[in-house]
Amino acid sequence: MSILLRLSRAIDRINEWLGQGAMWLVLAAVLISAGNALVRKLFHTSSNAFLEIQWYLFAGIFMLAAGYTFLRNEHVRIDIFAGRLSPRGQNLVDIVGILLFMLPMACLILWLSWPIVMLSIHSGEMSSNPGGLVRWPVKLLLPVGLFFLVLQALSELIKRIAFLTGQGPNPLERRRGPSAEEELAAAIKAREATQ
């Protein structure tokens, strides 16, 4: 189990890094959106590329932070039933959910999306909008994001099994400390202070 727990920690570090990067994509999307709005209002002009890059950034935020959200146990839950269970019962419910629902769904969508991405790359697919962007980078986010979500699901499975066998802490306990938004604000302040 110690080898699996080391693997789990490595996966957690990767998704932590991706989640931190996705937070910066939020800032980039806001700046581009604000800049595009200012240009549109002040100069009565706009670019489809600016609109599309906002969509691409949103896709990046959503797909690249999926594993991070699962790592932080901040994904959407419906705890009507599981919330009343003991920590052991909650972890058992999560194991069943990961094995029966999350992993099959994520793997299936990943497998089905790959040919679409490859076709987009090989055809050099471009946006049909004037001045639009190339499409394959945004399409590539789907299998990449799902790949890291699958890795995180495996990591969470390992942690839950470790908890049930008495070899690890409860992975469902809420992490104490600053929220993701507070961490981003602190990172921005730290960066400004070094400049």
Mean pLDDT over 68-79 rounds to 82
Residue range(s) defining the domain that contains residue 122: 2-72+85-194
Tell me the pLDDT tens digit for each residue of 144-153. Answer: 999 999 999 9
pLDDT of res. 142:
95
35, 116 contact by CB (below 8 A): no
Q: What is the pTM of this model?
A: 0.82
pLDDT confidence tier of residue 175, bands split at 50, 70 and 90: low
Residue 167 to residue 158: CA distance in whole angstroms: 10
pLDDT confidence tier of residue 131, bands split at 50, 70 and 90: confident
Residue 140 parent element (H or E): helix 136-164
Residue 138 to residue 117: CA distance in whole angstroms: 9
Tokens standing for residue 115: 């040919």
* Tally of structural domains, the chain: 1
Q: Is residue 45 part of a domain?
A: yes
Q: Is residue 131 part of a domain?
A: yes
Q: Is residue 132 part of a domain?
A: yes
Q: Is residue 170 part of a domain?
A: yes
Q: Is residue 11 part of a domain?
A: yes
Q: Is residue 78 part of a domain?
A: no
Q: Is residue 80 part of a domain?
A: no
3-state DSSP percent of the chain in helix, strand and coil, to 5: 75, 0, 25
Write down the residue that tokens 């929220």 correspond to: 179
182 pLDDT more than 80:
no
Q: Is residue 97 part of a domain?
A: yes
pLDDT of res. 46:
79
Please give the DSSP secondary-structure letter assigned to residue 86. -
Tokens standing for residue 122: 């090989």
Residue 109 parent element (H or E): helix 103-123
Q: Which long-range contacts (CB under 8 A, 24 or more apart) does 161-168 make?
A: 161/1, 161/95, 162/1, 162/4, 162/5, 162/8, 163/87, 163/88, 163/91, 164/88, 164/91, 164/92, 164/95, 165/1, 167/1, 167/5, 168/5
pLDDT of res. 88:
92
Write down the residue that tokens 């040919």 correspond to: 115
